[in-house]
Structure 1
Amino acid sequence: MKGIFEFIEKYFFIVILLGVAISLVYPNSFKWVLSEYNGINIINLLLSIVLFTMGTTLKADDFINVIRNPKAIGVGISAQYIIMPLMAFALARAFCLDTALTAGLILVGTVPGGTASDVITFIAKGDVALSVSLTAVSTVISPLLTPIITLLLIGNQIHFNPIDMFISIVQIVIVPIMLGLILNYKFPNFCEKLKDYLPTVSSIVICLIVAGVIGANKQAILTSSTVILIVIVLQYFLSMLIGFGIGRLAGLDKKQIITVAIEIAFQNSGLSTSLAKTHFPNLSQATVPGAIYSVWQNFAGSILAYAFRKYQS
């Protein structure tokens, strides 16, 4: 059983591509992901599971690491919440994206770093402790920064309530993480045993979210795939290159540079998709950029991780 979980974690990009293929051929297979159960959005519930698993892996040392590496943390968080949102906004303008795709792309740029960055950093032989700290800090402050930055960038184009978005992020992100932290604090040995399985659980859940969104927006994706794919690929690689550049300018070492670059490029696209569905219900295509970004970042990241290992040798 453990071998199966390790296989899924290692070849996550293949699993996610398989999910995408099934959702395109049989779009109704994952329709339930975007439905509700007793008034609860299934997609929000699934995302909360991912964040809960993240919480069970965090310890006080992950936050103490912020004090030990203030420069690296400062560089990573600044890039996360300044460069990524502005880049998303610039790309949306440059490619004249419609309102829905613009909203979705902006959300990809304003959400915190994704948990997959920690796995890719490990494969790339980067600074895993720094990666975990960056993901944790960017996630904890996201309830404040994500709604504010989104409002500043597209508030004049799209009406939404930033307070409601703040509450959503607290419910979807902060509460599950805190529950995971409490479980880890109370039962550390149990959580240590779960570490071999939780990354795979998170991977499967992300696959379900992506497949559900792509299946529901199959026609929209097929008709606008060229433009949005180009934008997503550009957003990913530009953020990676900028991460490298900023890291070098800040005088970080190679491991830290790689970590910052990966952290900036890997977004919590599941959260962006969830927020798009919840707060832009009349813009169905707003969920598309997050779904496509999730597929691309995991596929490209898995390949680039090995290139980063060469960079350090």
Structure 2
Amino acid sequence: MKRIFKFIEKYYFIIILLSVAVSLVFPNSFQWVLSNYGGVNILNLLLSMVLFTMGTTLKVEDFTNVFKKPKEISVGIATQYIAMPLIALALAKIFSLNEALTVGLILVGTVPGGTASDVITFLSKGDVALSVSLTAVSTVIAPIITPLITLVLIGNQIHFNPVDMFLSIIEIVIIPIMIGLILNSKFPDFCERLKDYLPALSAIVICLIVAGVIGANKQAILTSSSIIILVIMMQYFLAMMIGFGVGYLAGMDRKQIITVAIELAFQNSGLSTGLAKAHFPNLAQATVPGALYSVWQNFAGSILAYLFRRWV
């Protein structure tokens, strides 16, 4: 069983591409991902599972590292929540994206870093402790920062309730992470054994979310794919470049520079998809950028990890 989970973890980028292919050929196969069952939103439940698995890998020390590496943490978090939203807004305007795709792209920019960044940092021989700390801190402050920045960037054009978004992030992100964190503090040996299985489980869940969103928006993706895919790729690589530049200017070493660049480029795209569906229900295409970004960041990240290993 462990071998199967390790296989899934290792070849995640191939599995996510297969999920996309299946969802385009059989778009209704993953329709259940975006549905409600017994009053429970399946998409939000799946996202909570991913964040719970993240919580079981965290310790209180991951948050106290803020005081051990104040410069690296502050630079990484500040760049995360300043550069990424501005990149998204600029690209949306340059390429004249429609209202729905603009919302989706900005949400990709305003959500915290994704858990996949920790895995890619490890594969890249980066500073894993710094990566975990950046992901943890950016996620914990997301309930306030994400709705606030989203409101500033699109609140005048598109109505949404930032308080409801705040509550959604608390429900989807913070509560599952806290449960996982408590479980890890009370039963560390058990959580340590879970580490062999949780990355693959998270990978499967993300694949389901991506397949569900792409299947539901198949026609919209096929008609606007060339533009939005180009924008997503540019958003990713601009984030990488800014991460390298900021890390270098801040006087970080190579491992830390790689880590900040990865953390900046790897967004919690699943969360952006969930927020788009929950708070912009009249803009169906708003879920598309998050789904496509998830596919691209994992595919490109796997390739870049190989190159980074040779550089460090």
Cα offsets for 1:63-101 (capped at 9, x unmatched): 121111111101110111000001100000000000000
Q: Once the 2 structures are TM-superposed, how far is the Cα of residue 157 of structure 1 from its aligned partner?
A: 1.0
Q: Which amino acid aligns with 1:256?
A: Q
Hey, what does 1:148 align to over in structure 2? 148
Rounded to whole Å, the distance in 1 between the matches of 2:303 and 2:75 is 25
Q: Once the 2 structures are TM-superposed, how far is the Cα of residue 42 of structure 1 from its aligned partner?
A: 0.4
Q: Which amino acid aligns with 2:199?
A: P
Cα offsets for 1:127-181 (capped at 9, x unmatched): 0000000000000000000000000000011100000000000000000000001
TM-score by length of 1: 0.99
Hey, what does 1:187 align to over in structure 2? 187
Q: Once the 2 structures are TM-superposed, how far is the Cα of residue 309 of structure 1 from its aligned partner?
A: 1.1
Q: Once the 2 structures are TM-superposed, how far is the Cα of residue 61 of structure 1 from its aligned partner?
A: 1.5
Where 1:90 maps in the other structure, the secondary structure is: helix
Rounded to whole Å, the distance in 2 between the matches of 1:133 and 1:10 is 23
Cα offsets for 1:255-304 (capped at 9, x unmatched): 00000000000000000000000000000000000000000000000000
Cα offsets for 1:24-67 (capped at 9, x unmatched): 00000000000001222100000000000000000012112111
Q: Which amino acid aligns with 1:260?
A: V
**Count of aligned residue pairs for this structure pair:** 312
Alignment of 1:156-175 (within 5 A): 156-175=156-175
- Does 1:65 find its partner at 2:65? yes
Rounded to whole Å, the distance in 2 between the matches of 1:264 and 1:24 is 29
Runs ≥4 residues deviating over 6 A: none
Rounded to whole Å, the distance in 1 between the matches of 2:18 and 2:138 is 30
Q: Which amino acid aligns with 2:284?
A: S
Hey, what does 2:286 align to over in structure 1? 286
Consecutive unaligned residues of structure 2, counting only runs of 5 or more, are none
Hey, what does 2:241 align to over in structure 1? 241
- Does 1:308 find its partner at 2:281? no
Alignment of 1:68-107 (within 5 A): 68-107=68-107
Q: Which amino acid aligns with 1:156?
A: N
Where 2:56 maps in the other structure, the secondary structure is: helix
Rounded to whole Å, the distance in 2 between the matches of 1:283 and 1:40 is 21
Q: Once the 2 structures are TM-superposed, how far is the Cα of residue 311 of structure 1 from its aligned partner?
A: 1.4
Q: Which amino acid aligns with 1:20?
A: V
Where 1:57 maps in the other structure, the secondary structure is: coil
Percent identity of paired positions between Structure 1 and Structure 2: 77
Rounded to whole Å, the distance in 2 between the matches of 1:146 and 1:307 is 32
TM-score by length of 2: 0.99
Rounded to whole Å, the distance in 2 between the matches of 1:157 and 1:307 is 41
- Does 1:227 find its partner at 2:203? no
Rounded to whole Å, the distance in 1 between the matches of 2:219 and 2:9 is 30
Deviates more, 1:103-112 or 1:38-47: 38-47
Q: Once the 2 structures are TM-superposed, how far is the Cα of residue 203 of structure 1 from its aligned partner?
A: 0.5
Deviates more, 1:32-41 or 1:209-218: 32-41
Q: Which amino acid aligns with 1:51?
A: L
Q: Once the 2 structures are TM-superposed, how far is the Cα of residue 2 of structure 1 from its aligned partner?
A: 0.7
Deviates more, 1:36-45 or 1:215-224: 36-45
Hey, what does 1:6 align to over in structure 2? 6
- Does 1:115 find its partner at 2:115? yes
* CA-atom RMSD in angstroms: 0.5
Where 2:114 maps in the other structure, the secondary structure is: coil
Q: Which amino acid aligns with 1:81?
A: Y
Rounded to whole Å, the distance in 2 between the matches of 1:274 and 1:298 is 18
Q: Which amino acid aligns with 1:231?
A: V
Hey, what does 1:274 align to over in structure 2? 274
Hey, what does 1:214 align to over in structure 2? 214
Hey, what does 2:257 align to over in structure 1? 257
Cα offsets for 1:208-253 (capped at 9, x unmatched): 0000000000000000000000100000000000000000000000
Q: Which amino acid aligns with 1:59?
A: K
Rounded to whole Å, the distance in 1 between the matches of 2:156 and 2:226 is 27
